[in-house]
Amino acid sequence: MTFLSRSIFIAATAALLLSAAAFANAETEKIAELKEKIAERNTAIAELEKEIAGYQSDIEKTGKEAKSLQGAIRTLDLEQKKLAADIRLTENRIIAVNLAIRELTEDISDKKIEIDQSRSAIGESLRSVDRLETSPLIMALLSERTLGSFWEGVDNLERFQNGVREEVSRQEELKAGLESQKEKTEEKRRELTKLKGKLSDQKQVLAISRTQKSKLLASTKNKESEYKKLLAQKVALRDSFERELLEFESALRFEVDPTRLPPAGSGVLRWPLDSVKITQQFGKTADSGRLYASGTHNGIDFRASVGTPVKAALSGTVKGTGNTDTVCPGASYGRWVLIEHANGLSTLYAHLSLLKVETGQSIATGDTVGYAGETGYATGPHLHFTVYATQGVRIMERKSSVCKGTYVMPIADLKAYLDPLKYL
């Protein structure tokens, strides 16, 4: 190979090698720094999760104690501490996601630079090879001192061409990686939007809890005797309201065709909470006769501290929302949501602290419909979950002689109440 052709070939090879090595350690100082900050934030998140678990354990212990004013206040204080910790947890997750987006953005920028340099290197290398190949084969052969030198040059050229192919393949991988990072960035941005919405909700729930404590202290004048009297009045109102509602529902004759329902045990519904602990079963149980005027429980209750996200058990349409406390405080469901599903079932979510859906809204399985609370008649924060045969339930306005007003809530033919565990 002549001195000139060797020089061109060396230059072309060098361009490829420099391109391949330029980003061998692609992680920039900025990315390394961001990774460190993300790790610090994840440590803070883990500590907050541990703190929240401690509050939850204390709330459960307090909930098992005999009902007293000081116990109720202590529970509210614990719930508020847990909610405040939940808010800090969400804030830290927002910061962590923002850092992850910045890391992905830096990586995308680096990949774009690397792709540009790779293209430039390939172009320069191919131009160099083109200059080598402009000479006819016989001239290239005559320019070499020996036949061995000529074949050595051909062999080197083949290796060089293989290197070009490898560089092109590497660039294709870079492009695929770039698209993947862009998709991850969009996923993180969607996650960020959800977290910001959740943060706003948590602050509202905390404000509601503080208002509830203020009302409790004002209504009892911080006296245990007043608290006991308040509880007794609440139980009496609940019992009277239940008897009134039972009398009306017992007289309903809505058509309910069992063949239009999913088969029992089909598991068509998803659990409405991420963490499931059933505290009261459906129907006649050891406690239902003592707890309910009807002697039966028309749904199941889940343990759920104030502010726990409550999720749709299946996709469907929100048929209605409401708050029975506006007419009958402490007597029924409190804040509720009714969703109608396409398979003949409808589901009710009650005692919510905050509603997140509106009538007519389309809902996907797992969407947050609200946050658990202690509205309506509740001896502690929990989620009441009812499953109906859709044919047998209506949202109705009913004038109550017990409550001296008109309430709005789902009302059903008794045979339309279904055991949720048959469909979860």
Q: What is the pLDDT of residues 312-348, one digit of tens each?
A: 999 999 999 999 999 988 889 999 999 999 999 999 9
Q: Average pLDDT for residues 363-378, to the nearest whole number?
A: 94
H helices present in 64-146, as ranges: 69-133, 137-143
- Give the integer Cα–Cα distance in Å for 184 and 40: 21
* C-alpha dist (Å) from residue 150 to 14, 46, 113, 132, 157: 21, 66, 38, 13, 11
CA atoms within 13 A of residue 193's CA, in its CB half-sphere: 5
pTM, rounded to two decimals: 0.79
Q: Average pLDDT for residues 400-414, to the nearest whole number?
A: 92
Query: Degrees (nearest 5) of the Cα angle 367, 373, 374?
Result: 150
Taking alpha carbons only, the member of 201, 190, 10 closest to residue 100 is 190
Q: Domain ranges for the chain, please list them.
A: 3-211, 257-422
Residue listed under structure tokens 């989620």: 383
- For residue 408, the SS3 value is strand
At residue 24, the pLDDT reads 46
Rank 73-87, 115-129, 132-146, 156-170 by mean pLDDT and report only the highest: 73-87
E strand segments, 157-204: none
- Burial (CB < 10 A; 0-12, 13-18, 19+), residue 325, is middle
Taking alpha carbons only, the member of 138, 132, 135 closest to residue 156 is 132
- Give the integer Cα–Cα distance in Å for 343 and 323: 27
Q: What letter represents residue 351's amino acid?
A: H
Q: How many other CB atoms are there within 10 angstroms of residue 377's CB atom?
A: 26
CATH of domain 257-422: 2.70.70.10
The single-letter DSSP state of residue 415 is G
Taking alpha carbons only, the member of 330, 32, 83 closest to residue 201 is 83
- For residue 298, the SS3 value is coil
* C-alpha dist (Å) from residue 122 to 114, 128, 135: 12, 10, 21
At residue 147, the pLDDT reads 47
274 — pLDDT class (breaks 50, 70, 90): very high
CB-based contacts of 22, cutoff 8 Å, min separation 6: 114, 117
158 pLDDT exceeds 50? yes
At residue 137, the pLDDT reads 46
Taking alpha carbons only, the member of 321, 327, 297 closest to residue 387 is 297
150 pLDDT exceeds 70? no
- Give the integer Cα–Cα distance in Å for 4 and 299: 89
Asked if 306 and 202 count as a contact pair (C-beta separation under 8 A), the reply is no
- Give the integer Cα–Cα distance in Å for 203 and 94: 15
Give the N- to C-terminal CA distance of the chain in Å, as an integer: 78
At residue 138, the pLDDT reads 45
Per-residue model confidence as pLDDT tens digits over 193-220: 999 999 999 999 999 999 988 988 988 8
At residue 290, the pLDDT reads 43
Q: What letter represents residue 134's amino acid?
A: T
- For residue 388, the SS3 value is strand
At residue 163, the pLDDT reads 62
At residue 390, the pLDDT reads 96
Asked if 273 and 313 count as a contact pair (C-beta separation under 8 A), the reply is no
